[in-house]
Homo-oligomer: A and B are copies of this chain.
Amino acid sequence: MFGQGAPNKVTIRDVADLAGVGIATVSRALNGDAEVAEATRLRVLEACETLGFRRSSLARGLKRGTTDNIGVAIMSRHAPVVLNPFYTEVIGGIEEALEASEKHLLLSSLKRREGLLALAQEGRVDGLLVVGCDVSDGVLAQFRDRNIPVVLVDHAFEGLPSVVSDHWQAGLIAARHLVAGGSRSFAFVTENLDNPNFGQRLDGFRHGLVEAGLTLEDRAVAAGGDAWDGGYFAMERVMERLAGIPEAVFAANDPAAMSAAKALASRGLTIPDDVSLMGVDDIHLAAHHDPPLTTVRVDKVGLGRVGAQLLLARLAGEDVPERTTLPVELVIRSTTWPTLGSER
């Protein structure tokens, strides 16, 4: 059962006939043109109602050159991308902004990376939100050169508008907090060092240490891979190389921090008594971690919301800045020693 069966098509023509007007009038009434007599408008609206008429978005779009669809592509090397709690929140922010403006969200398929351009060229979407760092510069350059309306989220590229977190500041805040907590030796663990965002976090972290007259040894910096246990391996590596344990560990993001915590625990180390630990992002799990993870919160929803707003503005012909940076915020929980907020 449930084979084909044409969902009855009712067009603007039918409405016009029933209301006893021309199709142009129906169109006007529906578009809220002021030039329509109140009585006529009502008659049209009523006809639409009884007929259950809805404008064809296809025909409308073909004529107006827009679809009211916004493409969203998550560019993350982490395999099942939708699963990533970080991006999931970003999408929430995008939803929020699109909802407010009657736009629809077209989620670009995970693997169809290069097909992204096609989405825009086929006119399937009016604009694109490209989220994350795992995009080739080549693709981005094409977007820029062909002048396709796109806004980058959590990633930046010369000549394309983007919204990012203040990664450098996140590193700085972490360093200051850890230093204020009394730590004197440090380690930085991450999934990889290719991700420019992680790199900026590391830079900021280093800066914070240096400004306190401290340093981060090169061998105390390790990348453990992009799998679930990247933080674990990175932590293991650091401990091997240092032949000891640092007083504080700063992880490039929360997953890495939680994963590193396991490596620490497997050595019988207690957090924060033996070693302080903090991450970045403040994903949901962070607060539920044992012990609750101190972290630098990134405004994930804001990233999505602002990104969408910028795109919408750009589509409306408004000028948008090339770069928008969202502030981050220290969230002290139980993997570090509490300090007065002064270190900010």
Contacts and interface: CB of A to CB of B under 8 A. Distances in A.
A122 B55 contact: yes
A60 to B, nearest CB: 8
Contacts of A149: 7
A146 B7 contact: yes
A57 B285 contact: no
A247 B71 CA distance: 51
Contacts of A98: 109
Contacts of A118: 54
Interface stretch (A15-23, A39-47, A85-93, A199-207): A85-93
Interface stretch (A176-184, A209-217, A317-325, A326-334): A317-325
Interface in A84-112: 85, 88-89, 91-92, 95, 98-99, 104-112
A2 to B, nearest CB: 5
B105 A110 contact: no
Interface stretch (A61-69, A186-194, A231-239, A267-275): A61-69
Given A3-B317, A317-B4, A105 B104 contact: no
Contacts of A290: 290
A195 B219 CA distance: 54
A83 interface: yes
Contact of A111 (B91, B99, B104, B285): B99
Number of copies: 2
A135 interface: no
A104 B52 CA distance: 26
A284 interface: yes
B69 A95 contact: no
Contact of A62 (B58, B109, B119, B285): B58
A83 B284 contact: yes
A148 interface: yes
Residue from the set A52, A55, A82, A85 with the largest chain B CB neighbour count within 10 Å: A82
Given A105-B109, A111-B99, A123 B88 contact: no
Nearest to A69: B106
Contacts of A123: 56-58
Contacts of A266: none
Contact of A58 (B58, B95, B119, B285): B58
Nearest to A310: B2
Contact of A56 (B89, B91, B122, B161): B122
A77 to B, nearest CB: 16
Contact of A124 (B1, B89, B104): B104
Given A58-B67, A95-B110, 5 more contacts: A1-B320, A2-B314, A54-B118, A80-B89, A106-B106
What 4 pairs across the A-B complex have the smallest Cβ distances? A54-B121, A4-B317, A57-B122, A58-B62
Interface of A: 1-8, 52, 54-59, 61-62, 67, 69, 80, 82-83, 85, 88-89, 91-92, 95, 98-99, 104-112, 118-124, 146-149, 161, 284-285, 290, 314, 317-322
